[in-house]
Structure 1
């Protein structure tokens, strides 16, 4: 009989018995039982409660609420924002693969000396300060009009018209009669009378030297320039004080340019400028700002700036156009690429690089644009890195996560669900009005830190525009809804 299979069977049986005994001891041993219980405790214990920072509407993530409830903007429940999700001051993480696929570029905020300048289009105009009006000093008749026409360029002293002046003729004869009496006092008084009648000193001297009255008088141009108007013709009767001609000097010309209102603040009279006219493209003309006109254009939101240029050789002609560069003083400023700034209408944002793949938004105040760079007045420091491309995609992701600049998040109070946005009441003058919108020049709004300005508002109800008209003073109340400001009530005010 073969005993080998039997030995195998016995061995397997003993092994099974040993395993069973070991399992039983493990179940009975208190230490082992405690260890097993501790091993399963984390899985059985409830996870700690997550901290809620605020609630928000995913469609309007910038508005925060301190309690759950229904969104006042959309027909949906508010969503909690947890502390372990980031946002509200935390940065935004972007994977290296996403950065590469987006083609994300960064730029460094630089501090350097720049000479601010503004490039605008200008038009050459006649210098309206260099104008002479020629008038008749006594009643008479036009005997001759010299070959002149409006638009002619004439020299100083050029004859314009010959006038026959009977009143001057009678006064000169009286003067000659008094002079014949050899009475110095009477002669001086008669001579003074001729001057008071408007006779030039040269004409009176000619009457004295010739002893003959000079009833015919030739009117001459007092200065050289453009004969803008000639208001007399041969045979006309003229009265004392009647305008005969208008002459505009050409020794200097004006160049007027329309500067955007946002860039007009630093401009000052006396500031230097460079002008490049299309007619003389290779030549740079030097000029200076003589005045800033006191009214802005309400349609284009520009301010008119007037320059004065010398006009040697009378080359510059009214109506010419060209490029004007207004030069400012050199100053030190922080600069960043214009493409790095996101303008939302209410604020300007940039995304600062905290570490490779991590960014956070910062609100900035920007100034003048110099080429493809912007002057940063507040919000950044020299040496910081900012996102220069693909920042709109990052901004969209940040908005979905409720990520906002820290100072703005702290400044915006949380609303209770169902509560209406705060309303502000202020006086204003209607500049433009329709059934859906109203443009008002309103007083300051201290609660929003707004200065007095002109801006557009939407109307909550078209009936609010009933009975109102332009230039009317009104008291109106408005609220903010998203990026829009909505007028909820308006009434006329008598002043």
Structure 2
């Protein structure tokens, strides 16, 4: 579902729930009569069922043709700012459930993808010690399997010919020092021991010298072809082993604090369903990739059956180190609004309050609470829509609070309109219920009021609330006056 559709659904649900809460949290006439002995039984005002800002001093119809609902004074009020008291009947009707904040060990797993590659520590790179020409190449392409001692290439090098001649001269002179020096030079040029022994025995110089594979494995790189001229410093080829493989994976920047060497790791392959490999994290690389914002991690796997092949993709699961005795609440109890994270704190006796919390790690259906709760608290774990549909950064249960602002409905005339400050100067008629005479004063227009449709010197009937400011909540243009 797209975010736009989801937002529309939330708005519709919020409007419907707002009306439901208005009705549920308002004492009905029958209940009021039973429990309000000695109290004023007259309604404070009448409100539209589908719009709680549409208020009147007497019964009537809403703009949608529905009967206005009477709102009575509450017999019980919230004890502090931001708190709301809900009757047990309403709690049952709304299926409000609470759970205790608890401490538990919280662990999570990081799932990512990785790829299998050669063990870099065991790759053998073949470099020449002399310059010369490749007379014959015994391996042809990357991926070829090679065995230790297998011929790789044949080289003609004048330098190797000269080194052989030096040994024969030393042998002819029977000079042990020269013999030892000549043999050492041949070894330094990577000529094998059996080649030197045969040269010493047969005394025949070979113009083309064959070089052999130093280990068993797979040809990872091949940078030469038949007839190439090579010289020291060149990497002719690389041979990697398959008996042990490296696995590298990428983890997001936000998870770097959770991983360290020694954590258990599981690996699965789509190529081998149902089979799992286990290992331990060996390395967390210290450098963050500035483009992908990820960090590399690595571990090794033995590969006796050669099932793991270089460049295979793998599914990786890293078990992070558990957080001991974390203070947690169920994940569904936290209301995440983007800028704020809140929970509904159950204070007892039907009193609730929305409080800000600082979240930590989330795992196993729980969220760690770093700040905002204690182990003695209880939070609402269901019916979270009661807050989500009504709250914002500044509302803090304002639509659920039982206290109501003083409210009046009166006729008047608009003298001036300031759209920049949304200020209306209105000359109003007397307000009988407050014993107030007629007056001219400034009012603040509610954000719901469209100022463009208002006209100066036009008679109106309007409703307003008395709080920190006089706020106009409803305006009706009167005709024929």
Above 0.5 in TM-score?
yes
| Corresponding residue for residue 175 of structure 1 | 167
Q: Which residue of 2 aligns with 1:455?
A: none
Distance 2:375 2:104 in 1: 9
- The answer on 1:332 being equivalent to 2:325 is yes
Q: Which structure dedicates a bigger proportion of its chain to helix?
A: 1
Tell me, what secondary structure is at the counterpart of 2:161?
Answer: helix
TM-score by length of 1: 0.58
**Counterparts of 2:99 and 2:272 in 1: how far apart (Å)?**
39
1:288-324 Cα distance to aligned partner (Å, 9 max, x none): 2222233334565443322222222221122222132
1:152 maps to: 144
Residues 85 and 206 of structure 1: is their aligned pair in 2 closer, same or farther, counting only changes over 3 Å? farther
5 Å matches for 1:130-279? 130-279=122-271
Aligned counterpart, 1:368: 361
Q: Paired residue for 1:321?
A: 314
Is 1:352 matched up with 2:345? Answer: yes
Contact in 1 for aligned 2:265/2:278 (Cα 8 Å): yes
2:102 is matched with which residue? 110
SS at match of 2:184: helix
In 1, Cα distance between the equivalents of 2:202 and 2:90?
103
Return 254-263 or 171-180, whichever deviates more. 254-263
What is the TM-score normalised by the length of structure 2? 0.60
What residue number does 1:304 align with? 296
- Superposed displacement of residue 176, structure 1: 0.7
SS at match of 2:250: strand
Are residues 181 and 301 of structure 1, via their aligned partners in 2, closer, same or farther at CA, if it must alter by over 3 Å? closer
The C-alpha deviation readout for 1:311-345, integer Å capped at 9, x for no partner, is 22221122222132334257332332112112233
Measured in 2, the distance between the counterparts of 1:197 and 1:104 equals: 83
Q: Which residue of 2 aligns with 1:378?
A: 371
Partner secondary structure for residue 312 of structure 1: coil
1: CA distance, partners of 2:393 / 2:186: 91
1:381-460 equivalences under 5 Å are 381-382=374-375, 384-399=377-392, 402-403=395-396
SS at match of 1:339: helix
Whole-angstrom CA distance in 1 between matches of 2:332 and 2:298? 32
- Give the Å deviation of 1:168: 0.8
Indicate how the Cα distance of structure 1 residues 123 and 383 shifts in structure 2: closer, same or farther if over 3 A, else same: farther
Q: Is the 8 A contact 1:88 1:402 kept in 2?
A: no
Encode CA deviations 1:248-277: one digit per residue, 9 max, x unaligned.
232322323332332321311232212222
Is contact 1:225-1:247 (8 Å) kept?
Answer: yes
- Give 1:227 deviation, angstroms: 0.9
List alignment gaps of at least 5 residues for structure 1.
1-42, 44-83, 405-417, 419-495
Cα deviation per residue 1:373-424 (whole Å; 9 max; x = unaligned)? 22233332335321223324325545497439xxxxxxxxxxxxx9xxxxxx
Alpha-carbon distance change, 97 to 153 in structure 1, aligned in 2, over 3 angstroms: farther
* Partner Cα distance (2:393, 2:235) in 1: 74
Change (3 A) 1:309 1:356: farther
Q: What is the aligned residue count?
A: 328
Which residue matches 2:335? Answer: 342
How far residue 97 of structure 1 moved from its aligned partner, in angstroms, is: 4.9
Which of these residues, 122, 126, 130, is aligned with residue 114 of structure 2?
Answer: 122
CA RMSD of aligned residues (A): 3.4
Alpha-carbon contact 2:115-2:247 (below 8 Å) kept? yes
Q: Work out the CA distance in 1 between the residues paired with 2:158 and 2:349.
A: 97
Counterpart CA distance in 1 for 2:196 and 2:329 is: 74
Aligned to 1:415: none
Distance 1:247 1:271, change over 3 A: same
Q: Is the 8 A contact 2:149 2:214 kept in 1?
A: yes
**Cα distance, 1:186–1:222 mapped onto 2, change above 3 Å:** closer
1:140/1:237 contact within 8 Å kept: yes
Separation in 2 of the partners of 1:190 and 1:297? 51
Distance (Å, rounded) in 1 between the aligned partners of 2:329 and 2:163 = 79
Pick closer, same or farther for the CA change 1:356–1:152 going to 2, 3 Å: farther
- Whole-Å separation in 2 of the counterparts to 1:154 and 1:371: 49
CA distance in 1, matches of 2:179, 2:249: 58
Q: Does the aligned pair in 1 maintain the 2:171–2:179 contact within 8 Å?
A: yes
| Secondary structure at 1:382 match in 2 | coil
Aligned 8 A contact 1:115 1:328 in 2: yes
